[in-house]
Amino acid sequence: MQFSKYGQTFSKPSSISQLMDDLGDALHSETPVNLLGGGNPARIDQVNAAYFEVYQSLAAEGIDGNAIAAMGNYSNPQGDMPFITTLVEFFNRHYDWQLTAANIALTNGSQNAFFYLFNLFSGSFAHHKTTDAQAEVASNRTVVKSILLPLAPEYIGYSDVQIEGKHFIAIEPTIATVTHDGEAGFFKYTIDFAALENLAALKNGEIGAICCSRPTNPTGNVLTDAEMAHLARIAKQYAIPLIIDNAYGEPFPNIIYPKVTLNWDDNTILCFSLSKIGLPGLRTGIVIAAPEVIAAIAAMNAVVNLAPTRFGAAIAAPLLADDRLQELCDDTIQPFYASKAKKAVALIKAELGDYPVLIHKPEGAIFLWIWFKNLPISTTELYERLKQKATLIVPSEHFYPGLDTTTYPHAHECIRMSIAASDETLAAGIKVIGAVVRALYEV
Ligand SMILES: Cc1ncc(COP(=O)(O)O)c(C=O)c1O
């Protein structure tokens, strides 16, 4: 059978499909696997109990209740309107953003939102020139625009979503060694603004949007308020949107430790997800943006999905309406991951503290990013060796959409390790990593 160019691009193995396959295989494996690779959130009983309670109360409403109504009818393409109304009230209660329903669209997970947004803001554009009358007119020339990722590494899931081929430009970070909780052995990435502002593609109108995850998957880095303000200024200067991927940020799931501010204005596109609060199977993404962007997302939803799924909305709406979700995030989810990060750091230090191994300062998300300086093999090879010992991590090279990793050795020296596993699995997995890495440094 012959597939179109588009079909071939989307069906060939991609970074994300290989990772999901390995994870799926590991979940169904008969022998235990130390699963430190995936992006699944942890199972937190207290949080699941709250979801179960809503689920039961929906069931108790019987066949005339909201759950059956949500399952039995499509929403409009923008998404379940009662949930959108709840979200508008929630965000206006906690932030002074003065949103209306025209500022919010729902998607089938935020991955779905990134598919839309990156295809809206990158790829071929009609070239616009300004006439004497200051009216914008399109010429026959097309301009190919990219998504600018201001700090590599970035989320693996962005890499393959563009239907016209990969159009990303990423900037190598500035790396500084730092202390964490008073201890050495850590580093932190910051944005190299000199390189970013010198970028020819930015000056030539070949950037369609700037995007960053905050906290960042894979590193757990949190861009500072000053970095975010600087990015917002650049985005405005070049009349392009700033997309902020808030999958791990505040207010939900709030897996973020530094006290930073979340801002929104109509040049900002904020993406949220219900996945990392523990509901990835419900595939619910939330986009907050200017009405023009929301209308485009609704139109794309209509074509791709008819309408987004409504069950996540049914579960989350009552918990957002009375701020129970906020309490769960602040009092349970955030401390849970903070404690996991602490345990994982202690275990790595115990295994590899005497080796040239640095951990990115854990500032949020559900991963540690570990840098094996001058490791004699690439971390892709390390991944294979660890897999043979039933331990899964993700090697760093997949996290550099928009950067040529062949000329950037650092991109082959790190791994992403999930901290969402049980304490036993974390300890067993880190023991294996310790033994394999020590042997490599000792040859
Ligand atoms: C940074 C980031 N963005 C987006 C997503 C997509 O999440 P979902 O489609 O489940 O909302 C993930 C999932 O791991 C992520 O880590």
- How far does the centroid of ligand 1 lie from the alpha carbon of residue 110, in Å? 6
Ligand 1, pocket-test mutation among 155, 256, 269, 277, most atoms within 8 A of CB: 155
175: its two tokens: 């790396």
Which residue's alpha carbon is at the smallest distance from atom 2 of ligand 1? 247
- Looking at residue 24, its pLDDT comes to 74
401-422 pLDDT tens trace:
999 999 999 999 999 999 999 9
Give, as one character, the DSSP assignment of residue 330. Answer: I
Helix (H, G, I), strand (E, B) or coil at 140: strand
Report the nearest atom of ligand 1 relative to the CA of 111.
9
Please, what is the angle between helix 45-60 and helix 311-321, to 10°?
A: 110
Omega within 30 of 0 (cis) for the link into 215: yes
Structural contact between residues 367 and 37, judged by C-beta atoms closer than 8 angstroms:
no
- Looking at residue 233, its pLDDT comes to 98
- How far does the centroid of ligand 1 lie from the alpha carbon of residue 71, in Å? 24
Report the nearest atom of ligand 1 relative to the CA of 274.
11
- How far does the centroid of ligand 1 lie from the alpha carbon of residue 441, in Å? 34
- Looking at residue 330, its pLDDT comes to 98
Q: Do strands 414-418 and 394-395 pair parallel, antiparallel, or not at all (unpaired)?
A: antiparallel
Tokens 């894979």 locate to 218
Instruction: Please provide the DSSP assignment of 71-125 as one string.
Output: HHS---TT--HHHHHHHHHHHHHHS-----GGGEEEESSHHHHHHHHHHHHSEEE
- Return the ∠ at Cα 38 (arms to 334 and 270), rounded to 5°: 55
Structural contact between residues 46 and 277, judged by C-beta atoms closer than 8 angstroms:
no
- Looking at residue 374, its pLDDT comes to 96
- How far does the centroid of ligand 1 lie from the alpha carbon of residue 156, in Å? 9
- How far does the centroid of ligand 1 lie from the alpha carbon of residue 148, in Å? 18
Structural contact between residues 195 and 344, judged by C-beta atoms closer than 8 angstroms:
no
* CATH number of this structure's domain 66-128+139-174+184-324, picked from the four choices 3.40.640.10, 1.10.10.60, 3.40.50.2300, 3.90.78.10: 3.40.640.10
Omega within 30 of 0 (cis) for the link into 335: no
- How far does the centroid of ligand 1 lie from the alpha carbon of residue 268, in Å? 18
- How far does the centroid of ligand 1 lie from the alpha carbon of residue 247, in Å? 6
CATH number of 5-46+327-442: 3.40.640.10
38: left (phi over 0), alpha (psi -120 to 50) or beta: beta
382: its two tokens: 């390390």
- Looking at residue 203, its pLDDT comes to 96
Domain ranges of the chain: 5-46+327-442, 66-128+139-174+184-324
Report the nearest atom of ligand 1 relative to the CA of 155.
1
- Looking at residue 19, its pLDDT comes to 65
Within 6 Å (CB) of ligand 1, which residues are found? 39, 109-111, 155, 157, 213, 217, 245, 247, 273, 275, 280, 285
Burial label for 374, CB within 10 Å (0-12, 13-18, 19+), is exposed
Report the nearest atom of ligand 1 relative to the CA of 275.
10
- Looking at residue 13, its pLDDT comes to 75
**Which residues of the chain carry a pLDDT beneath 50?**
none
Which residue's alpha carbon is at the smallest distance from atom 16 of ligand 1? 217
Per-residue exposure over 177-197, b if at least 16 CB sit within 10 Å of its own CB, e if not: eeebeeeebbbbbebbeeebe
- Looking at residue 133, its pLDDT comes to 59
- Looking at residue 28, its pLDDT comes to 75
Query: Diameter of the chain by CA atoms?
Result: 71
pTM value surpassing 0.85: yes
**Matching fold, domains 5-46+327-442 and 66-128+139-174+184-324:** yes
